[in-house]
Structure 1
Amino acid sequence: MAKQISLLNYVNKPCLEKLDKDANRDEKMRLEEIGEDAYTVEDLHLEVIDEDACKVEKPHLEELGENAYRIEKLCAEEFGEDAYRVEKLHVEELGEDAYRDEKPCVEELGEDTYKNEKPCVEGLGEDTYKDKKPCVEELGEDAYKDKKTCVEELGEGASRLDSLAFPSTSSIECLQMSTSGTEPTQLSIDLSHIDEPPKQPKLQAFPVSVISGKSRSFSTRWYDKFHWLEYSMIQDAVFCKMCRHFSDARAEGAFTRTGFKDWKHMNRSCARHEMSKSHSLALGRFDDYKHNHLLGVQENTSNPVNQPTKNTPVIESNREHIKVVLDVVMFCAKQDIPLRGHRETDGAVNKGNFLEMFKLLSKYNNDIQNRIEKLPKNATLMSPHIQNELLESATLVLLRKIKSEIHDSNNTYYAVLGVECKDLSKCELVAICIRYLYKGVIKERAVGFVDTADTTANGISDKIIKVLEIFELDPELCVGFSFDGTSVMSGNQGDVHAVLKRTFRRAIYVHSNSHRLNLVLCTASKACPSANTFFEILNYLHDFMTDTHRHSRFLDVQKQLHPDRQCLELEQLTDTKWSSKSGSVKKVLMLFDVILEVLVEFANSAGQIKLESQSILYQIETKKFLFLAVTFRKLFEISDFGTKGLQSTTVSVMDCINLIECLKETFVQFRENTSNDFDKILKLTEELAEKYGIENWDVSSSRKRKLPAKIGDTFVFSTLGKSSRVQSNEDLRHLWNEIIDCQITELNNRFQDDAYGMMTASAACMPASEAFGRRESLQPPCTLYGITIEEAEFTVFVQQLKRKVAQGNTYTALTDVLESCNVDIFPNVNALLRAVITLPMITCNMEKLFSTANRIKTTIRASMLTSRLQNLALLSFERELCDSLDYDSIIDTFNSKRRRLVL
C-alpha cells in the first residue's frame, strides 16, 4: 500500500522530490499496471500528498484497497475535508456498492441535503429512496425533511392530522404512501390494537426479497432484540408499535406508516430508530397511557394520541398558556372590541386590549407570568399572526359544530339566505346563512362573510356555493332561497337565485317578507305630494335640532316642560331602518310642545337661524301637518306589529302570510269604514290644534292654475303629481283615502297570491283552519319537493290530530303540529311539514350580521382583511354556539400546523 501512495505521488511531479529512487522505481512499475486512463483521472483529481498525508492515508489504503481509495479521493476533493470525513463513515458502514448507489443522490442534492436524507435512505430502503427523489426535488428540502412520505400525498396539514388519526385502532384504514411513493396504500389490519401486545408471528418461512442482488427475508431473532417490533404478514414489513399509536407527524414514516422492509440494514436501522427522539416521546406517551388506563381514568378516547400527551408536564403547561391566550382572544371577539393597539412596543403606554388584558390577568395570577417568562421569546403565542390563527381555528370548530347540527338527523331540509352589502372600506360583501330544523327548533346560522370583486350573478353565486361546500349538503334537500330585493339577487332571469337553481333545482326563491313590508311603508310615505313633504319636514326638523347649541336648548326645554319624564331624542328617517318612520312620527307628536317652544325662541333671534326657525314653524303650525302626523302614527303602529313579527327567526310560512293578510284586512276596513275611522283621526287632530292654538289649514299655496277648457265642466279633486291646498275637513278626507288606497295597492302588489301552494298546504295541516284535512291542497308542495303522501297516511294523521284536539291540545303553529307527527308513523307528512317550516320568509338575521360587522370594522379598523372580519363577525354573531366551543378542539385545530411549542 505504501508503494501505491508513492505511485500516486510519482504521477504528480512535485512529489518526486520527496520520494527516493527506489520508490520511484516501484511506482513506475505500478504506473504501467494502472494504465494511462487511471493516470489521467488521478492527474485531474488527486492532490499533492506530503509525507504526513502518506502516513495518515496509509492505514486507509491498506484497509480499503486501491479502488475504494480512488472513489473516496474524488469525494474528498469535491465535497471538502469535512464532507470527506462524514462520507468516510458512510462508506465504512454501507460498503462500496451502497456508496456508489447513493453517489448520484449526493451530487444532485448537495452535501447538507445528503446528510439530512441519509437516515431516510436507511429507513426506507434503497428502492423507496430512489422513487421518492422526484418528490424531494419538487417539494424542497424542508418539506421533505418534515413530512417525508405523507407530505407527498396528503400535504402538510393533512399529514399531521392523519398521523393522529390511525393510532386509535389497527383496523382503521388510513391513506399512506406506498413504497413507490406515488399511490396511497392502507395501513395493515393485521397489526395490534392499542391495548394488545405487538403482533410478532413466528412463521416457518418468511417471504424472500431480493436486495442488492441477494435474497433476504425477515427473521424472528429480531423480536428478541427489539421488543417494540411487530410484523405485518400482509405487507411483509415491520412497524414500531409505540410510534404507530403515539407518534407525531414528524416521526419516521417507515416504522409508523409505510412499513420497513430493508432487511439488509435491519439491525442498524432499528437501533437508530430506538435511539431517535420521536421513539422516546412515543414511549413516554405509551407509558402515560398505560398508567392512566390501569388507574381507570375516564377520559375521551376518541383520539388516543392527544390524551396521554396532555398529561405530560411540559405540554400541559403549554396548553394552559395557550388557553389563557385563547380566552383573551375569544373575549375580545365576542365583545366586538379590537385586539391590537396602535403601538405594541415595550415603551408604549397603551398596547391594545389583548396585551393590556393579558397584563391584567398576570397581575392576579402569577402562574401566567411565570409561564411567559419560561417560554422562548419567539414562542409566546401572543403575536398578531397567532391571534389570527386562533380566530380561524375557533371559526373552523364553530362551522364544524353547525355542520354536526345539520347532519344530526337524516334528510334535514335546509334553506340558503343571503344579503349583499358594502362595508366601510367600500368592499362588496355577501353574508350567507343556513336555515334548518334542529331538534324541533328553527336555527338560522351565519356560515360565511365573503367579499367579491365580481358583483355579477355568477360571481356572487360562486362565492355562495364555495361557502356551502364544506357542509356537504345534498342539493335535493334545499327548499328555498331568501335574498334582499336588490336586482342582482332577486331578478327574474340570470340573477343569483336563477343561477343557484341550476344546482339546487327544488329550491324556490322567496323575497324577504320583512324587506317587502318595509318597501310598502316607504312607498306609503311617498303616496302623495303632501305625504312626501311631511316626511321631508320631519328630516329637516331633526337636522335643525342636532346642532350643539340648539340641541342643548332642546334638552333644557324638555326638562322644564316635562320634569318627570326622561329626555327624548328625535329620530331621523331612513329607508333601511325599518322602525325609524314610526319612531320619528311618534316622537314629534310627543315633543310637539317642546319643538314649538324652541322654534319660537330661535325665531326671535337674528341671522340664518331665525330664517330656518320661521320656515319650520310656518310648515308645522297647520292642521294639515297635525292630521298627517296623527294619520301616519296610526298606520305605522299597525304596521309595526307585522314588522316585528316578520323579524322573528321562527316565523313560518303560515305565520308570515297570516300577518300580511291581517294588515290587508285592517287597511281595507279603514277604507270601507272611512267615516268612523276618519272621524277618530280628525277628532284627535282638532284636539291638538286647539291645544297648541293652531288655526291655519295649510301653508299658502301658489296662484290657482287655470284648468284646460276640455275639462272645464268637470269637478277636479286633485291634480296628478301636484299638492292640493287643504282648506276643509273634506280635503283631509280625500288625503286620508289617498294614503289608505296606496297602502292597500302596495300590499296587494308586493304580497301576491301563494304561487306554490305553501299557504294552503299549511292550512290543510292546521286543525284550527277551515281547510284542515284537504289532501288535494298538499299536491303542489309535494310535487315540488318530490314527496308522496298516500291517502291512508294523511287520513290517519288528520284523525289523530282531531283526537288530540278533543283531548285539549292546541296547535297554534306548524311546529306544534310537527311535534305530534311521528316520523316513524307518518314519514311523508313529517317530511312535508319539515320542508314547509324550513322555507325562509325573512332575512333579518343577515341584517343583524351586517350590524355586527359594522361594529367591528370601524373607521380606525378600516384596513382589516375580510378573512379576519369574517372570523370576528361569526364568533360574535353566533354567541350561543361560541360560548359552548371546546377549547381543546380549537387548540388541536390550531396545532395541525407545525409549532415551535409542543401542544
Structure 2
Amino acid sequence: MSKQISLIKYFKKPRIEPETTLDDDDDDSTDKSTDDQQPTTSSLPSTSTSSQLGPVLQKSNSPSDLSTLDEPPAQPDLREFPRTTKHGKSRNFASKWYTKFPFLEYSIKNDAVYCKMCHHFNDTMFEGVFNEGYRDWKHITQACERHQGSKQHLIALEKYNGYRACHKSGRGTVVNQMNHDAMNLSFVQRNREHLKVILDIVLFCAKQDIPLRGHRESDDALNQGNFLQLFKFISKYDPEKKARLEEMPKNGTLMSSDTQNELLEAAASLLLRKIKAELNETPDTYFALIADEYKDESKQELIAVCIRYVHQGMLKERAVGFVATVDMTAAGISKKILEVIEPLQLDPSLCVGFSFDGASVMSGNKGGVHVLLKRTFPHAVYVHCNSHRLNLVLAAASKVSSHVSTFFDTLNSLHTFMTGSIRHARFMEIQNQLHPNRHCLELERSIDTRWSSKSGSVSKVLILFDCILELLDECSGSNHSQTKIEAQGLLQQIQTKRFLFLLVTFGKLFECSDFATKGLQSPTLCVLDCILLVDGLKDAFTVFRDNSQCDFEKVLKLTDELMSKHEIKNLDVTISRQRKLPARLCDSVVVSNISRNYVRNDDDLRRFEILDRQLTELRSRFHDDQYGIVKAAAACQPQSGTFADKGLLESPSQHYGIKIENAELTVFTHQIRRKAEGGQTFQSLMEVIDSCPSDIFPNMNKLLRIIITLPMTSCSAERLFSTTGRIKTSFRSSMATARLKHLAILSHEREITESLDYDEIIAIYNAKPRRLRLVL
C-alpha cells in the first residue's frame, strides 16, 4: 500500500489517450473491475480508463507513433530502416538494439529512438537526448549504456514499475485507490491515530525540555534522538504502530523534522487561542504587559512578553511568546512587543500597566519603551519590577565598603578553589567523614544580578566552615606550589574575626531579605502584598539597627563561639607594615583615613554602614506612588486604617476613567464591614472582589480588578527565559527561533498544554494540504 500511495505525487497531469490493451502479462479484466470500484462521490476525481493516468511531463512535440503508458514499447521491425548520411558515411538504426536495450522504442515518423520510461515519467530537473529523440547511430551503444545507468533513467524506471504494480493489483489506478481509501473511515482513523502518537511524543519532549532530534538519525545510528527512540520504545510494546509506519509511503510517515515543527506550531497556536479565549470569556477583562530582554545561546537578542489578567477569580500570568531582534532601541523593542501580542487582538483601553526592568531604554521618561507604548495603551502605568528593585538595594549593600566587597570576593574564591576535580572529591570525602548523617552540599557562587546566590553562598560557607578549614589545611601542605599558595591565602582570609562576624551578620540579614525576595517573585503578587513585604523588610532592618546593643551582642556571641570551636585567634588579616604618613600631613592631626580599617577590638566591628545603606536604598527605591495606587489598594482592604477613604480612591479612579458615586462606596463599605464583623476574613484583595459583584458595585469592581491586575514584577518573563535556556543549550545552539519559541511556550504554560485537545491540533495542522488524508 505504501508504494502505491507514494506514486500519487508523480501523477499531477494525466494524459488522455484512447483505451488500449495491456501488455501480455496484464489481465484484460482489470479495467472492468476497476470501473466497478470507483466511488460515486462527485467531489472525487474520476478516471474512466487506466490510461488516463499519465506521466508527469509530456513533450508537446512527442511523436504520435510511440506507445502509450499501458502499451508495450513501440519497436517496429522494418525490413530496412531509413539511412542517414553524416560526414560522408551512411548509417541506419537496427532492430538488434531492441534486444540489448529493451527500454528503447523507435519512431518511424521521426526516425529516432526514445526511452519509454523517461518519455512517460521524465522529471523536469532532467533533460536528455532520449527524451527528445536520439539519431546518432554511430554512438548509440555507448549512449544507451550511459543512459541505462543514469539517475534520470533509474528514477523513471522506478516510477514506471510502481505504476504497473498498482495497475495489476486489481484496485484500479492510484487516484482511484487514494479516493477509495479516503472514503474508508478506518483508513482515516488509522492515519489520525498514527499522528496522535507522533503528537504525544512531540509534546512530551516539549514539556520535559528535552531535544527531539539526534545528532545522527540514520538507520545505522546507535542513538537517533529522543523522538525516534521514543517511537521505537512505544512500538516495542505496540507492534501495530511499527507495522502502520512500515506500510505508509516513505514521504508520508510524518516522522520528519518539518512535521515536528508544524505540529509544534499548531499546538502553540492552539495554546494562544486558549489564552485569548480566557481574556474574552468575560467582558472588560483588564490586562497588563510584562516584558524582558534575553540573549540566547546563539547570542541572539530575544524580546519576551507575558500577559497578566484575572480569570475565574485567579490571577494569571501567561507567556505569549518572544521574538528575535537586532534593534535594541526603545522604538525597536516597542515594535517587537506589539508584534508578539498582535495575535491576541487586545483592546488597548483595557491595558492597565507595564512591568519592565529599570534599564534606561525601558524606564526613560522621555523616550523609554513605556512612554512609546503609552501611545497605544493610554491608561497603562509603568512599574519598575520590584524584585529588581530589591536586588539593587541588596547589591548596593554588598559594595558599601572595601572590606564587605573583599568578603564576597573571598566567598567566590572559596567556590573556585573547591571546583578543582581532586580538591572537590576530597571535599566530599571530608563532609562524609565529619557529617556522615548529612547530605553532601556544594558551595554557591555569589552573583550580583541574582541576590539569592549571595544568600546561598553565605549560608553554605557557614554550614560547611569546618569542612572548608579541614581541606584548606591539607592543601596548605601540598607539594603543588600553586595549590599551596592559594590554600594559605584563603586560610589567612577566613581565619579572622572580621570574616566570621560578616558571615554571621549577613546570614542573619539574609533570613529576612530571602523571604521578601521570594515573595516579590510570586506571579500572584499584587500591589498591597508588595508593599507589605517591603515594609516588613524595612521594619526588620530598622529593629536590627535600633536595637543594636542586643542584636550586636547576639551576633558577636555567635562569632566568638565559631572562633572558639575552630581555634581562631586573629581579629583581622595580619598588618604587613605600618603605613607612613605623607610629608604634607606631618604637621596635621590625622583622625581617620580612607585606607582599610583593621579590626583591633570588638568596637571596630560595631559599624552599621551595611544596615544604613540598605535602609537608605529601601527608602529611596520604594517611595514613589505617582498615581496613588498603593494608597488606593490600602483603602480597599478592610483591615487598613484608611479603609473606604474616598479621597485615596480619587487619583487612580480619575486616571482610569472610573467614577465612583458616594452611594456605591457607602453601601460597599457597610457590606464589607458587616461581613468582617460576622467573622469573614479578607486576607487579600481577591477576597474583597468576591464580595463586590460587578452587577451591584460596577465601579468598585472595576477599580479593584485594575489594582489587582497591575503587575509588580517581571519575573514571569524571566522564567520564560529560564525555560528557553534549558531548551537551547550549547549543543542545540543552531535551533531556529520559531521552533524555540513554540517549545518554550508549551513547556512554560504546561497547565494549558496538558489540556490541549489533539483533535483540535490536528484540525489546525490539516489546514494545509497533507499527504495523508486525516479527515473525511
Q: TM-score range by the shorter chain?
A: 0.7 to 0.9
Structure 2: how far apart are the matches of 1:342 and 1:613? 43
Q: Which moved more, 1:411-420 or 1:838-847?
A: 838-847
**Deviation, structure 1 residue 490:** 2.3
Match for residue 746 of structure 2?
A: 875
Structure 2: how far apart are the matches of 1:514 and 1:762? 19
| 1:337-356 pair list within 5 angstroms | 337-356=210-229
Alpha-carbon deviations, 1:641-679, whole Å to 9, x = none? 101111111111000011111111221222222111111
Q: 1:310 to 1:855 in 2, by over 3 A?
A: farther
Q: 1:740 to 1:712 in 2, by over 3 A?
A: farther
**Deviation, structure 1 residue 699:** 1.0
- SS state of the match for residue 896, structure 1? coil
- SS state of the match for residue 604, structure 1? coil
Alpha-carbon deviations, 1:839-891, whole Å to 9, x = none? 00012222211111111111110000110000000011111000000001100
Alpha-carbon deviations, 1:709-750, whole Å to 9, x = none? 59945743xx44x3211111111002xx11110111111122
Match for residue 505 of structure 1?
A: 378
Match for residue 640 of structure 2?
A: 769
Structure 1 residue corresponding to 2:669, chosen from 780, 786, 798: 798
CA contact (8 A) 2:291 2:356 kept: yes
Structure 2: how far apart are the matches of 1:746 and 1:848? 26
Structure 1 residue corresponding to 2:471, chosen from 577, 588, 598: 598
CA contact (8 A) 2:395 2:451 kept: no
Match for residue 191 of structure 1?
A: none
Q: Which moved more, 1:491-500 or 1:868-877?
A: 491-500
- SS state of the match for residue 799, structure 1? helix
Match for residue 641 of structure 1?
A: 515
Structure 2: how far apart are the matches of 1:710 and 1:444? 66
Structure 1: how far apart are the matches of 2:511 and 2:367? 39
- SS state of the match for residue 415, structure 1? strand
1:324 and 2:200 matched: no
Match for residue 680 of structure 2?
A: 809
1:657 and 2:531 matched: yes
| Equivalent position amino acid for 1:638 in 2 | C
1:426 and 2:299 matched: yes
Structure 2: how far apart are the matches of 1:826 and 1:844? 33
- SS state of the match for residue 526, structure 1? coil
Match for residue 703 of structure 1?
A: 578
Match for residue 884 of structure 1?
A: 755
**Deviation, structure 1 residue 494:** 1.1
Structure 1: how far apart are the matches of 2:197 and 2:286? 39
Alpha-carbon deviations, 1:94-145, whole Å to 9, x = none? xxxxxxxxxxxxxxxxxxxxxxxxxxxxxxxxxxxxxxxxxxxxxxxxxxxx
So what's the TM-score if we normalise by structure 2?
0.75
1:682 and 2:682 matched: no
Structure 2 residue corresponding to 1:378, chosen from 224, 244, 251: 251
Structure 1 residue corresponding to 2:309, chosen from 415, 436, 453: 436
Match for residue 265 of structure 2?
A: 392
Match for residue 741 of structure 1?
A: 612
CA contact (8 A) 2:496 2:568 kept: yes
Match for residue 787 of structure 1?
A: 658
Q: Which moved more, 1:866-875 or 1:686-695?
A: 686-695
1:610 and 2:493 matched: no
- SS state of the match for residue 745, structure 1? helix
Alpha-carbon deviations, 1:515-539, whole Å to 9, x = none? 1111111111111111000000000
Q: 1:390 to 1:713 in 2, by over 3 A?
A: same
Structure 2: how far apart are the matches of 1:711 and 1:793? 77
Structure 1: how far apart are the matches of 2:681 and 2:60? 92
Match for residue 407 of structure 1?
A: 280
Structure 2: how far apart are the matches of 1:552 and 1:663? 40
Q: 1:781 to 1:311 in 2, by over 3 A?
A: farther
Alpha-carbon deviations, 1:575-630, whole Å to 9, x = none? 23331111111111111111111111111223111111111111111100010001
Match for residue 565 of structure 1?
A: 438
| 1:477-488 pair list within 5 angstroms | 477-488=350-361
- SS state of the match for residue 579, structure 1? helix
**Deviation, structure 1 residue 697:** 1.1
CA contact (8 A) 1:310 1:316 kept: no
- SS state of the match for residue 533, structure 1? helix
Q: Which moved more, 1:598-607 or 1:407-416?
A: 598-607
CA contact (8 A) 2:631 2:648 kept: yes
**Deviation, structure 1 residue 703:** 2.5
Structure 1: how far apart are the matches of 2:615 and 2:216? 59
Alpha-carbon deviations, 1:381-434, whole Å to 9, x = none? 111111100000000000000100111110000000011011111100111100
More relative contact order in 1 or in 2 (CA 8 Å, sep 6+)?
2
Structure 1: how far apart are the matches of 2:403 and 2:587? 24
Structure 2 residue corresponding to 1:692, chosen from 566, 570, 582: 566
| Equivalent position amino acid for 1:623 in 2 | K
Structure 1 residue corresponding to 2:209, chosen from 319, 329, 336: 336
- SS state of the match for residue 416, structure 1? strand
Structure 1 residue corresponding to 2:627, chosen from 744, 750, 756: 756
CA contact (8 A) 1:603 1:611 kept: yes
Structure 1: how far apart are the matches of 2:610 and 2:247? 74
Q: 1:311 to 1:818 in 2, by over 3 A?
A: farther
| 1:152-191 pair list within 5 angstroms | none
Moved >6 Å (runs of 4+): 77-83
Structure 1: how far apart are the matches of 2:331 and 2:365? 14
| Equivalent position amino acid for 1:449 in 2 | F
**Deviation, structure 1 residue 682:** 1.1
**Deviation, structure 1 residue 493:** 2.3
Structure 2: how far apart are the matches of 1:587 and 1:847? 25
Structure 2 residue corresponding to 1:865, chosen from 703, 722, 736: 736
Match for residue 556 of structure 1?
A: 429
| Equivalent position amino acid for 1:658 in 2 | L
**Deviation, structure 1 residue 779:** 0.8
CA contact (8 A) 1:527 1:742 kept: yes
Structure 2: how far apart are the matches of 1:836 and 1:432? 20
Alpha-carbon deviations, 1:168-225, whole Å to 9, x = none? xxxxxxxxxxxxxxxxxxxxxxxxxxxxxxxxxxxxxxxxxxxxxxxxxxxxxxxxxx
Structure 1: how far apart are the matches of 2:441 and 2:672? 51
Match for residue 147 of structure 2?
A: none
Structure 2: how far apart are the matches of 1:893 and 1:698? 70
| 1:203-602 pair list within 5 angstroms | 312-602=185-475
Aligned residues: 608
Structure 2: how far apart are the matches of 1:661 and 1:384? 53
Bigger Rg, structure 1 or 2:
1
**Deviation, structure 1 residue 825:** 0.2
Structure 2: how far apart are the matches of 1:593 and 1:347? 54
Q: 1:313 to 1:669 in 2, by over 3 A?
A: same
Residue ranges of structure 1 left out of the alignment (5+ in a row): 1-76, 84-276, 286-308
Structure 1: how far apart are the matches of 2:439 and 2:342? 52
CA contact (8 A) 1:514 1:647 kept: yes
Match for residue 299 of structure 1?
A: none
So what's the TM-score if we normalise by structure 1?
0.65
1:839 and 2:710 matched: yes
| Equivalent position amino acid for 2:189 in 1 | E
Residue ranges of structure 2 left out of the alignment (5+ in a row): 1-58, 66-174
Match for residue 626 of structure 1?
A: 500
Match for residue 725 of structure 2?
A: 854
**Deviation, structure 1 residue 310:** 10
CA contact (8 A) 2:290 2:716 kept: no
